[in-house]
Homo-oligomer: A and B are copies of this chain.
Amino acid sequence: MTKSKASAQAAHPLTLIPGPVEFTDEVLAAMATPSQSHVSPQFVEVFGDALALLRQLFFNTDKRAQTFAIAGAGTLGWDFVSANLIEPGEDALVLHTGYFADSLADCIATYGGKPTQLKAPIGDIVTLDAIETALKEKKFKVVTITHVDTSTGVLSDIKSIAALVRAVSPETLVIVDGVCSVGVEEIRFDDWDLDLVLTAPQKAIGVPAGLSIFIASGRALDVFRARKAPPTSYYASFAKWLPIMQNYEAKKPSYFSTPPVQNIHALLASLKQILAVPLADRFAAHARMSDRIKATIASYGLKQVAVREGYQANGMTAVYLPDGVALPDLLPRIASRGIVLAGGLHKEIATKYFRIGHMGVSVTDEDREDFDKALAAIKESLAEAGYTI
C-alpha cells in the first residue's frame, strides 16, 4: 500500500474512468525526466530494467518469451498480432464480449487474416462449450480473448479458455487483449501457457498513455520465425523490434526507431511501485474495492452491464442508468463534484450506461479516499437528476 502524503500534483478533477487512471507523483516526475540519449548507458539501464520487471507482472520466468514496450498505444498491439502471428488467409477465432472484439477482428482482416467472431450476448461471456465447438470445426491459427472488455466490464476466464485451446487444438496460439486487465487481474503467462498478452500503460499499470506493451511466448516467436512471408507491417514488426528488446534487456544499446525515453522512465517508476508489494495483495486490494463499488451501485438500485457473477472485471464497473436519467445530464453533475467518469462505449447500448474505472493508485492508496468521493458524487448526482435511491 502506498503511504499517503501530500501530492505534488496540482488540484485536478479525479480521473476515475477505465483508463487513463490517476498517476502517482513518482510516475509523473519520471515523465518529466530531463533529456537523455536513447542509447546512453543511463537510459539503456532504465529500459532494460523495465523490460525485466514487466516479466514479473506476467509471472514470467521463461526467457524464451520476450517483453516489449514500444511507442504507440494498446491498439497497436493488435497490429503486432495481426501482422506477425497470422498470415494472409489464416483463420482467427475472435471471442467477442464487447466493442473491442469488433475492432480486433477489423484489424486482423486488414492484414489479410480471416476472423470468425464468437459473440456473447451483451454483458455475458462466451461459454467454453461454444469455444470447444468452434475449435473442432476449423483449424484456427490464433484464438483471441478480450480479458476485460472495457466497453462492458465483462471478465473472461483466460486460464480455462487457454487450457481448453491447448487440449482441443494444441498448435493454436492463445492471444489475450489485456488492455484493461494487466496489473489488476491475475495473469500467469507461463503456467497458463499463453502466447501473447498485450496491454497499454494508462490502465492498471498506472502510466500515461503512449506505449504498446506486450509479452510474446517462445511458441509465438517460433511461429513468427516460421512465417512463409515477412511480417506485413513495418513499424509493428517483430523482425524489427525483437532484437531491439533483447538488446535493451541485455543492457546493450540498439536502434530501430527512437524509443519514448520519458514514457519508459515512467513505466519503470510505476513497475517498481507495483512490484514493491506482492502482486497477490495488489489483486486482492482491487477485488475488495471492486466488490465494494459493485455492492454500493447495487444498493443504489442500479444494474451492471456485466451480468454474470464471477465474470465481472475487478478494475472497472459498467453501470446501466436508471430510467429517466440521461448521460448528458448525469456525467456533468458528477464532474461538477470533481469526479470524471466515462460514458458508454458499446455501440448498441452506448447512451444507456456509464463506466467507473477502479485501478491503480486510486485503489491502492486508500487514504486518497477517491472512491468515497466518487460514490458520494454518484449518489448526489442521481438525486439531483431526479432518481430516488
Contact = CB atoms under 8 A, between A and B. Distances in A.
Interface of A: 9-10, 12-13, 15, 17, 19-23, 28-29, 31-40, 71-76, 78-79, 82, 106-107, 110-111, 200, 202, 208-211, 230-237, 255-263, 340, 342, 345
Q: How many copies does the complex hold?
A: 2
A32 B29 contact: yes
Given A258-B74, A260-B73, A234 B23 contact: no
A110 B34 contact: no
A238 to B, nearest CB: 13
The 3 closest A-B pairs by CB, nearest first: A210-B260, A75-B257, A107-B234
A34 B9 contact: yes
Contacts of A235: 72-73, 75-76, 78-79, 107, 235-236
Given A9-B34, A31-B32, A73-B259, 4 more contacts: A17-B37, A20-B38, A71-B210, A260-B263
Contact of A37 (B9, B15, B32, B255): B15
Given A111-B234, A258-B202, A76 B72 contact: yes
Given A32-B32, A258-B209, A262-B31, A232 B75 contact: no
Given A20-B261, A28-B34, A258-B202, A110 B231 contact: yes
A152 to B, nearest CB: 16
Contact of A78 (B32, B234, B259): B234
Given A73-B257, A236-B235, A36 B15 contact: yes
Given A71-B72, A209-B258, A258-B209, A20 B34 contact: no
A71 B209 contact: yes
Which of A19, A37, A258 is packed against the most chain B CB atoms within 10 Å? A258
Contacts of A29: 32
Contacts of A20: 35-38, 258, 261
A263 B15 contact: no
